[in-house]
Amino acid sequence: MSESTTTVKYLIVNADDFGASRGINRGIAEAHTNGIVTSTSLMVNMPATCEAADLARLLPDLDVGLHVNFTNEGDDPVVDVTDVNACRVELEAQFERFRSLIGRLPTHIDAQHNIHRHPALGELFVNLATRNGLPLRDHSAAIYLGDFYGHWGGESHPEQLTIESLHRILTERVGVGATELSCHPGYVDLDFESVYHAERELEVATLCDPSLPGILDDLLIRVIGFAELATALGVDGSKT
């Protein structure tokens, strides 16, 4: 095992919900161009999906994975999550839709509301990821970290989204090996329903904070994308 796999802290900063709205697309692009976001996850059945796909072509250094959407955001579900066969068909359809939109395989797979953790559906996601050699959230060499999130218990928690809070998360939760930090940057769109609105704009500001590169250097953390995961660790990045 090389020295890098035993001493280096690799961080993937992944922005969920790409394609959900134009404001979210804009926030993700800004958090990548001016901040530390290295990766995003595309929803292929949302109002701003096509715009996101076009935007991705202008951001060649931004990894783009598939954010499987069975549950929607405040609307009727896309599919009945108790119907495993219907979910299998929908999962494959969204995977193929991604390939059609982006022109290649996703760099990774995750899901809206982490529906891939549903006991009856997990095997579908694992099989899809394994067949295509792709990292799947909770099943890859990158440890998932969802602490950078500002809403729970029915209440907003903006204090969780400050640069001081992110500094603490990076210090206390990112260790040797690879970590995926999930985030949800974006700008408010009045036609997009979500309990997570103002918090997205706070995320953009923090993820673009000019002190972050120095913080990462001090903590010996190197930011990478999912496409670099296997090479960085010297292992198959799709498996733990």
pLDDT confidence of residue 1: 37
Which residues lie below 8 Å from residue 13, measured CB to CB, with a gap of 6+? 36, 37, 38, 39, 181, 183, 207, 223
- Position 211 pLDDT exceeds 90: yes
Provide the pLDDT confidence category of residue 236 given band limits of 50, 70 and 90.
low
**Partners of 60 in the beta sheet?**
none
Percentage of residues of the chain with pLDDT beyond 70: 94
pLDDT confidence of residue 199: 96
Domains of the chain: 3-233 (3.20.20.370)
Mean pLDDT calculated for residue range 94-104: 98
pLDDT confidence of residue 110: 97
Percentage of residues of the chain with pLDDT beyond 90: 87
Residue-wise pLDDT for 132-152, tens only, equals: 999 999 999 999 999 999 999
- Position 3 pLDDT exceeds 60: no
Residue-wise pLDDT for 71-87, tens only, equals: 986 568 999 999 999 99
Tokens 């970290």 locate to: 145
- What is 125-191 written as a DSSP string? HHHHHHHHT--BTTSSSEEEE-----EETTEE-GGGGSHHHHHHHHHHH--SEEEEEEE------TT
pLDDT confidence of residue 192: 83
- Position 187 pLDDT exceeds 90: yes
pLDDT confidence of residue 239: 60
pTM of the model: 0.93
